[in-house]
Amino acid sequence: MTLSILFSQDKIAVSVTKEGLMKTTLYQGNHTFTVENKEKLPPKSDEVRIKVAYCGVCGTDVHIYHGVMDKRVNIPLTIGHEMSGIVDAIGAQVSHIHVGDKVVVRPLDSRGEKPSDKGFSHICEDLKFIGIDSPGAMQQYWNVPAFTIHKLPEETDLRLAALVEPLAVACHDVRLSRLKKSEMAVVLGGGPIGMLVAMVARTTGASVIISEVNQTRIKLARELGFTVVDPGVENLIDFVRSQTDGHLADVVFEVAGVQSTVDIMVDIAGIRGRIVMVAIHGQPKSVDLFKFFWKELQLIGVRVYEKEDYETAIQLITENRLPFDKMITAVKPLDHVQQVFENIDKHPDGMKILLDCQV
Amino acid sequence: MTLSILFSQDKIAVSVTKEGLMKTTLYQGNHTFTVENKEKLPPKSDEVRIKVAYCGVCGTDVHIYHGVMDKRVNIPLTIGHEMSGIVDAIGAQVSHIHVGDKVVVRPLDSRGEKPSDKGFSHICEDLKFIGIDSPGAMQQYWNVPAFTIHKLPEETDLRLAALVEPLAVACHDVRLSRLKKSEMAVVLGGGPIGMLVAMVARTTGASVIISEVNQTRIKLARELGFTVVDPGVENLIDFVRSQTDGHLADVVFEVAGVQSTVDIMVDIAGIRGRIVMVAIHGQPKSVDLFKFFWKELQLIGVRVYEKEDYETAIQLITENRLPFDKMITAVKPLDHVQQVFENIDKHPDGMKILLDCQV
């Protein structure tokens, strides 16, 4: 057994020297990324190696950069999970995926799933998030378990495909909201996820209002064709009432994560309204539970996505009928990673920044 | 027009003298009820007059007695809405209801329903609750709109039928929880509504745990065959986990209305657990919204009942297979009303006290 392992390691070592070098970025803690050359590793038997095309910066990546998640992240770590790429090599046991396939990764490692997770593998108690709990995509080549792969059609634009992961979040949120044509939804918060939620919500045929206070985001939301209310200027409750003959909202997406949106979400939801909790509230908030009773409101917690949400997102991106291009604020070379994160802190009202991992 | 009204009033005046006297109770404010003799009134054309058999005392009636609702209640007022009785007279336009029918009243006056209520008449914005916003059943004869009537089968026990209204609340709560066989529910709070919710929950085939701190109620819940945890003595989270192989609860009914149950409801609910908000929280509470996100929990607001819940409750009461008898702590004559409310304050851990309106 020991001999076999040694032999196997030798083989890998031999392979490594044959595979050549690649650029990788490493979060080093203390607001610092380094860019290093590393040996490309061959995929393990159940893995796929992807030549990463683009990797977007998620809000979670920014949290990691801020050091907020240093207890969870095994520093130094390559982070990143909003990516697209092309399969570069496959492990011996991998079938149905081929070198040259355009792909995205659903970065959920549910191998620790237990019966007590009731089949909800995407939020299982022992879920590992790839790119946070294990190495991510902000590098030129990325080895991942084959089960995380979703293939893209040949015609899919790889730049837009880096939006599949956050778009799948939005698809999940809208699906669980049960929003339908003839209904009205209010999205509280017009950041990247809020904007994608609004775009997906509109595909149901429902009318959508975005509530946002940042002027840059308000401008973009209006360019995207949304009705936008700045609750600092206009009374949101009155506005929603006037737009709905008093019905108020059928669905409210709480994407802002602050006390003021938690306060207003129960006021703008009409009778039997569904409030979707997209935001991550790090601290408990004061909630008017009386209004849940009085109007028979529902609060629906939502987290990440399931397989079908990825497939919906891939279809939307491939069809490219929604204004996804406007969601990409900038594309920067991979080795500008440090500067990219510093710039996000200086301009936090942008949408998606992509790292181009091909250069 | 004026003449016609005068004529109509004259007619009623003539009728009143023919109908005779009845006992009625009146909430006079300041923790005081009076019992008075009043003329029985004939039903209006769209009304039914009921000879009230029994009227239970609801928590809301106790709130009224405490003066908490004096702004809403038009003092002096006959209150009470958990009743049973026999039809004594019908208005000219009433069909399908006959003198002698055993009946209960669904005390919701939804005549102010608007399109913005989306068809949910039972919680419409302009809902009037009969027995709070207009005269109630703590009297010998009660005139109500015919649309509020649900007929009882001939064999239904009128004493148990006074439980139909609170039981319909429980039927509504369990129905909206979507609780099913093989699932596990925890009821937080073993008061009258909590106990009825637990009883109805058990009819689905699900297993049910009641969490309660009051020793009298714990004893009763155990007599009713429930697994009961006193969270002051035992760790409720550990207990629920141990009973479910770590799954935790599929459904949690929050019936207690205090911060500690709002805190624990999100811990004992498992992945995708449904938390039903039965309690009326007069003040906003601190809620751990992160756990709604993390476990994709749902919060389901519930209030009163719909027609079908009344029908389910009537069927359960008529079949009388559940231990409803144990829910009736005492039956007292109508004119003991003052003493009954004083006793409830002295012994708040009882279940249902009924007023016998026939004596």
What is the residue-wise DSSP string for B310-345? HHHHHHHHHHT-S-GGGGEEEEEEGGGHHHHHHHHH
Regarding whether A120 and A11 lie in a shared domain, the answer is: yes
Length reported for chain A:
359
Q: Give residue B123's identity as a one-letter amino acid code.
A: I
pLDDT > 80? residue A28: yes
Across the range A83-99, mean pLDDT stands at 98
Task: Please indicate, yes or no, whether residues B144 and B175 belong to a single structural domain of this protein.
Answer: no
Beta carbons of A290 and B282 less than 8 Å apart: yes
A247 is an active site residue: no
- pLDDT exceeds cutoff 50 at A7: no
Q: Do A247 and B118 touch (CB under 8 A)?
A: yes
Is B308 domain-assigned? Answer: no
Residues of B in contact with A245 (CB under 8 A): 115-116
Q: In chain B, what percentage of residues exceed pLDDT 90?
A: 94
DSSP codes of every residue in A149-166: EEE--TT--HHHHTTHHH
- The verdict on B256 and B152 lying in the same domain is no
Q: Smallest CA–CA separation between A124 and chain B, in Å?
A: 8
Instruction: Find chain A residues with C-beta within 8 A of B289's C-beta.
Output: 262, 277, 279, 281, 284-285, 287
Q: Do B271 and A125 touch (CB under 8 A)?
A: yes
Residues of B in contact with A297 (CB under 8 A): 299, 301
Specify if B236 maps to a domain.
yes
C-alpha–C-alpha distance, residues A166 and A149, integer Å: 16
> What span, in angstroms and rounded, lies between the C-alpha atoms of A150 and B180?
35
Phi–psi pair at B278, nearest 5 degrees: -90, -35
Is residue A28 one of the residues assigned to a domain? yes
Rg of chain A's alpha carbons, rounded to an integer?
A: 22
Out of A244, A246, A298, name the one closest to residue B301 (CB).
A298
pLDDT at A226: 98
Q: Is the pLDDT of residue A1 over 50?
A: no
CA distance A141 to A39: 10
Query: Could you tell me if B245 and B335 lie in one domain?
Result: no
Token pair listed for A189: 């918060």
Asked whether A254 and A275 are in contact (CB, 8 A), the reply is yes
| A142 shares a domain with A79 | yes
Evaluate whether residue A312 is within a structural domain: no
Q: DSSP code of A121? A: G
Using alpha carbons only, give the angle A84, A72, A170 rounded to the nearest 5 degrees. 40
Report percent pLDDT > 70 for chain B.
95
**Sequence-ordered list of residues with C-beta below 8 angstroms from that of B214, at least 6 positions apart, any chain:** B190, B349
C-beta atoms of A302 and B293 within 8 A:
yes
Residue in B24, B60, B78, B148 annotated catalytic: B60
**Is residue A110 assigned to a domain?**
yes
My answer on whether B218 and B327 are in the same domain is: no
Q: Looking at A2-16, A71-85, A201-215, B137-151, which range is the least confident one?
A: A2-16
Report d(CA B110, CA B9) in Å as an integer: 26
Same-domain check for residues A116 and A143: yes
Boundary of a domain, candidates A273, A301, A329: A301
Q: How many CB atoms lie within 10 A of CB B150?
A: 16
Give the alpha-carbon dihedral of A27, A29, A35, A36, to 10 degrees: -90
- Based on the fold, state whether residues A261 and A174 are members of the same structural domain: yes
Q: Compute the distance between CA of residue A82 and CA of residue A56 in angstroms, rounded to an integer.
A: 5
- Average pLDDT rounded to a whole number, residues A19-34: 96
Contact of B295 with A123, CB cutoff 8 Å? yes
A109 plus A241 within the same structural domain:
no
Summarize pLDDT for B19-52 with one digit per residue, the tens.
Answer: 799 999 999 999 999 999 999 999 999 999 999 9
> Which residues of A are less than 8 Å from B178 in CB distance?
none
Same domain, A326 and A228: no
Helical packing angle, B215-223 and B192-203, nearest 10°:
20
d(CA A54, CA B144): 70
Give yes or no: residues A34 and A143 share one domain. yes
- Kindly report the CATH number assigned to the domain that includes residue A208: 3.40.50.720
Q: Which position among B63, B150, B203, B247 bears the catalytic label?
A: B63
Residue of A nearest to B172 (CA): A296
Query: What does the pLDDT average to over A20-37?
Result: 97
Domain with B182 in it: 167-301
- The mean pLDDT of chain A is 95
Q: How confident is the model at residue A31 (pLDDT cuts 50, 70, 90)?
A: very high
SS3 call for A23: strand
Per-residue pLDDT averaged across B264-280, rounded?
Answer: 98
In this complex, the residue of B118, B288, B300 whose CB is nearest that of residue A298 is: B300
The CATH number assigned to the domain holding B81 equals 3.90.180.10
Residue B12 pLDDT exceeds 80: no
Residues of A in contact with B300 (CB under 8 A): 296, 298
Non-local CB neighbours of B234 within 8 Å, separated by 6+ positions: none
User: From the centroid of its chain, how far is CA A268?
Assistant: 27
* Nearest Cα to Cα of residue B311 among B147, B172, B126: B172
Q: CA-to-CA distance for B99 and B49, rounded, in angstroms?
A: 9
Q: Do B289 and A123 touch (CB under 8 A)?
A: no
Note whether residue A185 is domain-resident: yes
Question: Is residue B307 one of the residues assigned to a domain?
Answer: no
The mean per-residue pLDDT over the stretch B158-170 comes to 98
Residue ranges of E strands in chain A: 21-27, 33-39, 47-56, 82-90, 102-105, 108-109, 128-129, 141-145, 149-151, 184-188, 207-211, 227-229, 249-254, 269-277, 285-287, 298-301, 328-333, 352-356
Query: How do residues B199-228 score in pLDDT, each as one tens digit?
Result: 999 999 999 999 999 999 999 999 999 999
C-beta of residue B23 within 8 angstroms of C-beta of residue B325: no
Amino acid B11: pLDDT:
44
Query: Which pLDDT value is given to residue B154?
Result: 98
Inter-residue contact A40 to A22 (CB < 8 Å): yes
Q: What is the mean pLDDT of residues A91-110?
A: 98
Describe chain A by its helix, strand, coil percentages, rounded to 5. 35, 30, 35
Q: Where does the pLDDT of residue B113 fall: very low under 50, low under 70, confident under 90, or very high at 90 and above? A: very high
Structural domains of chain B, count: 2
B63 carries an active-site annotation: yes
B187 and B100 in a common domain:
no
Cβ-defined contact of A287 to B286 (cutoff 8 Å): yes
- Cβ of A118 and B297 within 8 Å? no
Nearest to A106 by CA among A46, A153, A166, A160: A166
| B328 pLDDT above the threshold of 90 | yes
**pLDDT tens string A277-331:** 999 999 999 999 999 999 999 999 999 999 999 999 999 999 999 999 999 999 9
What is the pLDDT at residue A18? 55
**Does A113 map to a domain?**
yes
